[in-house]
Copies of this chain bind each other. A is one copy, B any other.
């Protein structure tokens, strides 16, 4: 016997029960998105490599599955969907009516070190609102993200949405005296703050900033636990407004409006300010957020933010945008941990069993199945002719059928059929004449 070939490392095989679990997640995603007026889109599974190397930052580059195709093109399996979205929007110029509310449920690929909650092939829900500059869009999107989690069965004791702002960080870093060319390095450092020790963080911060007074100020503002704290800090360092703003920092006003809007959605219990949220991707420009599992390992369930420049960078018209993505791996683990997935569905409404043992028995099964299927009743029957009734019943159980319909036998001669409900074991005799209508009503 030859050895069994395995699936590639970091990928998954979805057998029917696994797929039913996935499908529950996908159905819930579709439903949440449609509830908020989002339309589905999709792109290719791979893109020209330059789509990623140009815009998505170093973090993504190291993790790409890349290859040269038979036509000599440099190709990468897509590691995230936002570049595809921005490319598609850019390609249409001003043809697409704005604002757009778009979503996609799509496979993605990242060649990374295997660990709990991380695979090399995974599935994400992406939701994006394009064409709105105002924080009203950030609020609607965060509400949709929270709504998606609630519809799966999670509540405010399971997760929180933690929010910060790249603009705020920029205003504060600059206000503390940091040079603008250090910002990108500082975001990357901040993004890994929770993964390294405070001492290492301080050392690395010192190395980047190279000024004790500035480091002290940064340490101070990293201690801010609320927007109030930030406002007080802003006063202590004498920072009151940025050129484009009046009456305080632009980013603080945005964040305050975001919290007020989320309050109108009735979702204040889910929202918290967290200055440590920065998100790894290079293209974020404003508010950034994560949904975080607060029961377990404080893992990020979803992440997103505002990326007002990306469509323009790909050659499209300036298009403000905000979006988020959530992956199926962490969410799947949380659904299993909380036992909130429904049991796998029935494979068939009706399993049809023949009580006869004749040449015509199989044809009678087929004819009964055709009548039921024509009424929209899913059904199956044994494909082994004249199989004994015990084995047919076993197959009905394997199929998790809701009903068994017995055809033929003495009942058949009397123009009747026996219908058995497998959930409660009850049986009834129904007329063979118009049985399909009766059963269509029963399973509806």
Q: Which residues of A contact B (CB under 8 A)?
A: 1-9, 11-16, 19-20, 22-23, 34-48, 50-51, 65-71, 73, 75, 77, 84, 87-88, 90-92, 96-97, 99, 101-102, 107, 109, 111, 121, 129, 132, 134, 136-137, 139-140, 143, 147, 261, 264-266, 313-316, 347-348, 362-363, 366-367, 370, 373, 376-380, 383-385, 395, 398-399
Contact = CB atoms under 8 A, between A and B. Distances in A.
B347 A383 contact: no
A68 to B, nearest CB: 8
A68 B66 CA distance: 9
Contacts of A134: 383-385
Contact of A39 (B16, B40, B91): B16
Given A5-B314, A39-B347, 5 more contacts: A5-B50, A5-B315, A15-B96, A37-B379, A65-B70
A9 B315 contact: no
A269 to B, nearest CB: 14
A23 B40 CA distance: 9
B136 A44 contact: no
A3 B136 contact: no
Contacts of A363: 261, 264
Nearest to A400: B39
| 9 nearest CB pairs, A to B | A67-B67, A37-B380, A11-B44, A16-B39, A37-B348, A4-B315, A14-B42, A264-B363, A264-B366
B385 A44 contact: no
Contacts of A67: 65-68
B13 A91 contact: yes
Given A87-B5, A378-B36, A383-B132, A46 B11 contact: yes
Given A315-B1, A366-B264, A37 B90 contact: no
B4 A91 contact: yes
Contacts of A34: 378
Nearest to A42: B14
14 contacts: A2-B315, A4-B314, A6-B48, A8-B48, A8-B75, A9-B71, A12-B44, A13-B41, A35-B378, A46-B121, A71-B111, A136-B384, A136-B385, A147-B373
